[in-house]
Amino acid sequence: MPHPRHVLVFAARVGSRTLCVHPFVHPFFVEGNRGEETQFALRCKTAMETETIPSGPSAADGRARFSAVYRVLEEAIAAHAFPGCAFGVLSAGKSAGKSNRKTVFEDALGHFTYEDSAHAVSAQTVYDVASLTKVVATTAAAMLLYRRGLLDLDTPLGDLLPGFVVGRAPHERARSVTLRHLLAHNSGLPGYVEFFRAAATSSALLRACLELPLEAEPGARAEYSDPGFILLGKALEVNTRENLANWAHREIFAPLGMTSTGFCPPSAARLSIPPTEEDITLRHRILQGEVQDENAWLLQGVAGHAGLFSNVPDLLRFAGEILDAGRAFGPESTSSRLFDAATVRHFAQRQGPEGSSRALGWDTPSENSSSGRHFFPHSIGHLGYSGCSLWIDLDAGIAITLLTNRTWPDRRSRLIREVRPAFHDAVREAL
């Protein structure tokens, strides 16, 4: 018999000081080589092309209707792209000026690990969503502050984080870096730095991040940057005078009913979260229910670039909020509680330099995109290193999320690169 759901509490601590406290609903259910990737891609394509997809909308024939989707994911699990996954689709329209959201389907396949005795994944299973943190927490916070007139995206980063410019030459290009540059991933900062190799504390990591030399002129180069979002998260904390986890919970997650979303899962909840890795180099333990990203871990589990945990229903609620706002034409819709059409349009607009697919915080479809072939150009999305993704088609009113722990047990599998577009194509073709 399944156990009842219990409300637990997230709490990140530095010494004796609590950094974030918010509820977390805990459901008590108890890379290979390139040749392999090519073969797997062909199997995904074959699974899609050979499946007949009925068009009926009823729940009774849901699995048959999305049979190509299940085939792609079952093939992925069999090929050890990931041991299990949860996935869901939401559609959103407007009727008489009101939101008309509908969850088309939510489901799950596989297990927490490759062992037959491992827990089965459910649609409600909470995952480490890795870099989805960048959009669901950090970018969402920036969007909400922007809408409220509390955040100027052209504010120099050094105005909020003086440590970024202190000690630099008067004409140093770092002084020109703005919050907009950080959101657009064109600040000139490097893409990834293993701060955790040298830094022993969160303050040392932040200091090293603040002192990074720029590799390019701000705005001149698109480079997806974790350090940029670490600094953006800290800048937003200065702006709000509050920890990012606390603020995001109160202002975003709680209003949207995202009860399974938050940072720093308590130890009692960890066994209900699929493990991401058997870490044999840094923490020397199985990482389950604690953030996988090493820099985020050193930052006490709360960072602008990673650290969030969530599940399919919550991510679809979040996506529905974006769709409600983004699809409001004419007079502003009152159905969206957080965002408005102007804000969504602004953050969904591609930024420079020419050829970049990056919007403000979000990515957009590009050639060979993980979103597949059927998302309209006016779409936004993001990926997570752990094997998670969220794509939102603002024109079609469709949101699709896929959550996996593809890094289990050792990060080597890269088959997720083939799974994602095949999965999204299968879903869109079934719709």
Residues 171 and 302 in one domain: no
Alpha-carbon distance values, 340 to 76, 319, 325, 327, 378 (Å) = 38, 13, 5, 9, 16
| pLDDT at 267 (0 to 100) | 93
Residues 260 and 327 in one domain: yes
Query: Quick check: 13 pLDDT over 70?
Result: no
Q: What is the mean pLDDT of residues 131-154?
A: 98
Residue 284: other Cβ atoms inside 10 A: 8
Decide if 192 is inside a domain.
yes
124 and 316 in contact (C-beta within 8 Å)?
Answer: no
Q: What is the mean pLDDT of residues 31-53?
A: 47
Residues 93 and 165 in one domain: no
Decide if 1 is inside a domain.
no
Least confident of 36-50, 64-78, 316-330: 36-50
Residues 249 and 224 in one domain: no
Residues 163 and 111 in one domain: no
| pLDDT at 405 (0 to 100) | 98
Identify the CATH number of the domain in which residue 213 sits.
Answer: 1.20.58
| pLDDT at 57 (0 to 100) | 43
**How confident is the model over 53-88, as pLDDT tens digits?**
333 344 446 789 999 999 999 999 999 999 999 999
Residues 223 and 319 in one domain: no
Query: Quick check: 348 pLDDT over 60?
Result: yes
**How confident is the model over 220-242, as pLDDT tens digits?**
999 999 999 999 999 999 999 99
Both tokens of 234, joined, read: 């800290």
pLDDT, greater one: 99 or 352:
352
Residues 214 and 308 in one domain: no
**How confident is the model over 359-395, as pLDDT tens digits?**
999 999 999 999 999 999 999 999 999 999 999 999 9
Decide if 323 is inside a domain.
yes
* Length in residues, the chain: 431
Percentage of residues in the chain having pLDDT higher than 90 = 80
Residues 181 and 281 in one domain: no
Identify the CATH number of the domain in which residue 42 sits.
Answer: 3.40.710.10
Within 8 A by CB and 6+ apart from 302, the residues are 12, 19, 20, 243, 244, 245, 263, 264, 296
Domain boundary among 214, 240, 266: 240
Q: What is the domain count for the chain? A: 2
Residues 218 and 116 in one domain: no
pLDDT, greater one: 116 or 47:
116
Confidence category of residue 3, pLDDT binned at 50, 70, 90: very low
Q: Tell me, yes or no, if the pTM score tops 0.95.
A: no
pLDDT, greater one: 187 or 101:
187
Query: Quick check: 203 pLDDT over 90?
Result: yes
| pLDDT at 5 (0 to 100) | 32
Domain boundary among 196, 213, 240: 240
| pLDDT at 327 (0 to 100) | 72
> What's the domain range around 385?
6-143+245-430
Mean pLDDT of the chain: 88
